[in-house]
Structure 1
Amino acid sequence: MPENPFPITNGIPPARALLGQRIRDLIQASVCAQDNDANLTTAAEQIEAITEALRAPGTTPPLLLTALEGGGHLSINNPLEGPGNPLAPPLSWTRIDPTSVSADVLLGPAHEGPPGRVHGGWVAAVLDHVLGRATAAAGYPGMTASLTVDYHHGTPYAVPLTAEGRLVRRDGRKLHATGELKAGDVVCASATAILVHFGADRFPVSTKD
């Protein structure tokens, strides 16, 4: 297997995870804030100052990985699973085995589309990521070529959700995967996807022939 070209840390940097969570809280608070111009303007000025203090000179690639127990890696700044990325819910992996993955996720008001429901784009993004995780866990990392999502019920936010994905079969470089997003026992959405397998030099995960 080629030497891993990606930066890997020993665990999740606590300060990065804490910053990600605090900004995540800020995003949720901002979309629910009362429309008081003075307070919002003051908050914006304070946030601007903090942003300038954090802004790094030049461009730093965001990819940063840490090993997961049981194999594979967690992308710390990924917009779906990364605890260091304020855009991420994030997904919390509860099971990764050779054929399937499962993750818990809690979406909030910032993810709202229809009143009281998660935006369908976020539902699709969660399912897309989980299906990619499933193929990688099976030893065949890939990129999505096509994704079909069926919305069965409106997905509620502020309640625990479970996302599940599995690799169904492999046809050469084509990977066929399926998954569901559930609220309790209710399947809110399901997805099928075709992914294209790429080599180990493009993704840090053990592969099979």
Structure 2
Amino acid sequence: MAELGSALRELVDAAVRTEVPAADLAAAAATARELAAALRVGGRGLLDVAAVDDPVAGERWYSPVYGPGSPVAPPLLVDSEGGGRVTARVTVPKALEGPPGLAHGGTIATVLDHVLARALRSAGRGGLTATLTVTYRRPVRLGVEHVLHAEVAATEGRRSTARARITTAEDPDTVLAEGEGLFVALRPEAAAATFAGVDHAPEAWTARP
């Protein structure tokens, strides 16, 4: 799955950069549809969790943020420091471009949201994003390795607040963007309704007993 994900990311990168003639584009599209048809033979339903996934442990192979099997993930590499702190590294590809040469603002918000949630997980907390505030200070450039730091700031009942920042690996003192998120752990009955039809337990997003 990781090998396929890597190959598909190469394909996506090639597709968003190509300037080949229209005839070559048509041939590539036909080949891509043939490959899609072959993969759908063993497909799963929209609510089915992949056999290799473990949502409670944070293993999501097709996550659009970090999944090694995902064709659209940057991917983001996260290292948990424990105690509510994580560090992550990411290099934004051409496929996630906003203004020319720069990461899309939504991509920046997405990776910030993810590391904030992972900081909660490292503290033994769960929850869904209730609010996310992003402050964009400087451009996040394509093809440059960036580092994200996130930590839990406060917890009260089912609510947790976490903060994160993005810098470049070469200049860790210059903050490019910051995020602050409020996460709320679901009550068991709310979790059951939210994840109705999903074939894995939703403990990762619920309040701890």
Q: TM-score, normalised by structure 2?
A: 0.83
In structure 1, the residue matched to 2:193 is none
What is the distance in 2 between the residues matched to 1:173 and 1:128? Answer: 18
In structure 1, the residue matched to 2:149 is 164
- Which of 140, 165, 169 does residue 155 from structure 1 map onto? 140
C-alpha deviation, 1:144, in angstroms: 0.3
Are the structure 2 counterparts of residues 88 and 72 from structure 1 closer, same or farther at C-alpha, using a change threshold of 3 Å? same
AA in 2 matched with 1:117:
L
Are the structure 2 counterparts of residues 140 and 110 from structure 1 closer, same or farther at C-alpha, using a change threshold of 3 Å? same
In structure 1, the residue matched to 2:181 is 193
Deviation beyond 6 Å, 4+ runs, structure 1: none
In structure 1, the residue matched to 2:64 is 79
C-alpha deviation, 1:145, in angstroms: 0.2
1:54 paired to 2:39: yes
- Which of 95, 101, 119 does residue 134 from structure 1 map onto? 119
- RMSD of aligned Cα (Å): 2.3
Instruction: Structure 1 unaligned segments of length 5 or more: list them.
Output: 1-15
Are the structure 2 counterparts of residues 37 and 120 from structure 1 closer, same or farther at C-alpha, using a change threshold of 3 Å? same
More helix by share: 2
- Which of 104, 107, 113 does residue 122 from structure 1 map onto? 107
C-alpha deviation, 1:127, in angstroms: 0.2
1:145 paired to 2:130: yes
Asked whether the equivalents of residues 84 and 119 of structure 2 are also in contact (C-alpha less than 8 Å), the reply is: yes
Q: Percent identity?
A: 32
Are the structure 2 counterparts of residues 58 and 125 from structure 1 closer, same or farther at C-alpha, using a change threshold of 3 Å? closer
More strand by share: 1
* Secondary structure in 2 matching 1:74: coil
C-alpha deviation, 1:198, in angstroms: 3.4
C-alpha deviation, 1:62, in angstroms: 3.9
C-alpha deviation, 1:129, in angstroms: 0.7
Q: How many pairs does the alignment contain?
A: 191
Asked whether the equivalents of residues 173 and 198 of structure 1 are also in contact (C-alpha less than 8 Å), the reply is: yes
AA in 1 matched with 2:142:
Y
Are the structure 2 counterparts of residues 183 and 44 from structure 1 closer, same or farther at C-alpha, using a change threshold of 3 Å? same
Residues 62-73 of structure 1: matches in 2 within 5 Å?
62-63=49-50, 64-65=52-53, 72-73=57-58
Instruction: Structure 2 unaligned segments of length 5 or more: list them.
Output: 189-200
1:21 paired to 2:9: no
* Secondary structure in 1 matching 2:69: coil
